[in-house]
Chain A
Amino acid sequence: MKEITKEVYLNWYEEMSFWRKFEDKLAQVYIQQKVRGFLHLYNGQEAILAGALHAMDLTKDKMITAYRNHVQPIGMGEDPKRVMAELYGKKTGTSMGLGGSMHIFSKEHRFYGGHGIVGGQIPLGAGLAFGDKYFKRDAVTLTFFGDGAARQGSLHETFNMAMNWKLPVVFCVENNGYAMGTSVKRTANHEDIWKLGLGYEMPCGPVDAMNPVAVAEAFDEAIARARRGDGPTFLELKTYRYRGHSMSDAQKYRTKDEVAEYQKIDPITQVKDILLEKKFATEEELKEIDKRVKKRVAECEKFADESDFPDKEIMYDVVYEQEDYPFLAHKPE
């Protein structure tokens, strides 16, 4: 694995903080009704993205996930201003305002969405890997989904074929404890989701996903396995989300104490502690980073605020590749 140097820790601290503050900002502007629809935030799960990105080859590897998807494309290289603009429904957004919160895509940076149907992206991720194997591209696809999606048939059909065909894919369940308001223990007769891999003889195991180092190590091994042609791995990333499932979630299914327990092992705090402990940075230097993060988030907000809404014609322009598709009229002219 690439060494986790001082620079890596500093980068983790800045990027994870940025993702956290970016999501906090979205919650704020959601209340101001600048962002509408559903809004699913990533707060608490940042170690997963940080660790994964460290292990990936960002010149060719791919990522796909569900609808908790704002910060992953940013991590892959997409301009966060465009992500925020997408949530505002602006023409400068990643999908020109057609996708919204749950449907962020970045073809340029190999981020394949952003998918709104629970578990629907699992076979797509295997399909991306199928394409890479077909064209002998030596790339690996990280396919993320939540603990709720682990109960979908799509997972089981895909695991079976991906293993049978030795596709270069890493399946990653981000187990944050709750499928919306239903705890993992209430959705199945077992709690160790990683054991689902055993039935397919797929290498699998749990990962402490509050710790980016543990995540990076697990992904490094899984990606190497996929890249050398030995097929998929299934990682259960044990994590926690601080906020509700979406903004409308009153969170009556858990206690404040439970949230506080996880905040004690907060992934950003863990990185910060290491930076200070190893004297990679001083408190003052970290405060400088915090300031920079705040400024970057403010720039995103300003960009999204000042961008224009899309022209109405765009609605028809993006459905088909065919340029003159004869759409039906939907109301009198």
Chain B
Amino acid sequence: MKTIQFREAVCEAMSEEMRRDEAIYLMGEEVAEYNGAYKASKGMLDEFGADRVIDTPISELGFAGIAIGSAMNGNRPIVEYMTFNFSLVGIDQIINNAAKIRQMSGGQFNCPIVFRGPTASAGQLGATHSQAFESWFANTPGLKVIVPSNPADAKGLLKSAIRDDDPVIFMESEQMYGDKGEVPEGEYLIPIGVADIKREGTDVTIVSFGKIIKEAYTAADELEKEGISCEIIDLRTVRPLDIDAVIASVKKTNRLIILEEAWPFGNVSTEITYQVQEKAFDYLDAPIVKINTADTPAPYSPVLLKEWIPNSNDVVKAVKKVLYR
């Protein structure tokens, strides 16, 4: 094992795959000469040249479409969005073209493409720069949606995403790029659609994904002192959803909390809640609890933002609620 930053894991995954397959290129704002807005493509222009590491103008719709067109014609593009907040001006291309081209053409064309970049909030950036659209993308048949929470998962999953023959949304976080973690030496892949039990426990299941899962770890540490054992499941992939992993855990703990940084209406937690009541109704000893962001645009002021975003105290409270303590 070696210890690297999250951004280095992303860079290693892209670089290893680009060495392996000439059809892959990286395109986006500031990815080349600037080395990436968050330095996730540091050194890649030098290694692969300007034909394969491509700076774009600020035209998220246009370059998404150009990348998709090239994917219909033999390329396997990686498109970086500086954040997924900016993907909204290009989302027509993702939803109407990348996700549907295979179906609409009766299987004649496919679209092997990865859209990657940070998702959700990253400090006091206000309403337009703090959004999590995982559930929007995950709602769309034709797409796959991956949201890793540490460097090792990021590397193994991004390599799988790049090799996947379907369009993949790969969501990172500005606040994770500096996170360090152990990563296996040499090549490895992590399969898409498989959740990971980050901590085993017996009293309650906490399901989460992406950077917010760290709040669950903090809460679990605290609860352990009180003799409460939490099982933490990292979904890693949101679509397809590894519901079997969640159900297996619920059958063991009989209690479920879902922690997701997203607006509460119709989000990933909502879908999990539906599926668990459908598939494991008799195993639940308490109503499922969702912990999400406030049902408002993200505020700027630090006091308000702290209230808006879920934290470990919310998780502790929720655990005690489902345990009736």
Contact = CB atoms under 8 A, between A and B. Distances in A.
Interface centre among B25, B51, B105, B112 (most CB of A within 10 A): B105
Given A98-B104, A103-B105, A120 B142 contact: no
A100 B23 CA distance: 31
A154 B65 contact: yes
A114 interface: yes
B240 A107 contact: no
Contact of A105 (B25, B56, B57, B104): B104
Interface string A118-148: 0010111111111110110000000000000
Interface residues of A, number: 49
A135 B166 CA distance: 21
A321 interface: yes
B106 A326 contact: no
Contacts, number: 149
A211 interface: no
Given A128-B72, A160-B57, A321-B110, A120 B65 contact: yes
A98 B65 contact: no
A158 B107 contact: no
Contacts of B92: 117, 120
Interface string B28-68: 00000000000000000000000100001101011111111
A59 to B, nearest CB: 16
Interface residues of B, number: 43
A69 to B, nearest CB: 12
A134 B106 CA distance: 27
A315 to B, nearest CB: 8
Contacts of B66: 123-124, 126-127, 130, 158, 161
Interface string A302-333: 00000000000000011111100111000000
B97 interface: yes
A99 B56 contact: no
What are the 9 closest A-B residue pairs judged by CB atoms, nearest first? A127-B69, A123-B65, A157-B62, A131-B73, A95-B106, A321-B165, A124-B69, A157-B59, A105-B105
5 contacts: A126-B69, A128-B72, A131-B71, A132-B73, A161-B56
Interface of A: 62, 64, 93-99, 103, 105-107, 112-117, 120, 122-132, 134-135, 153-154, 157-158, 160-161, 164, 317-322, 325-327
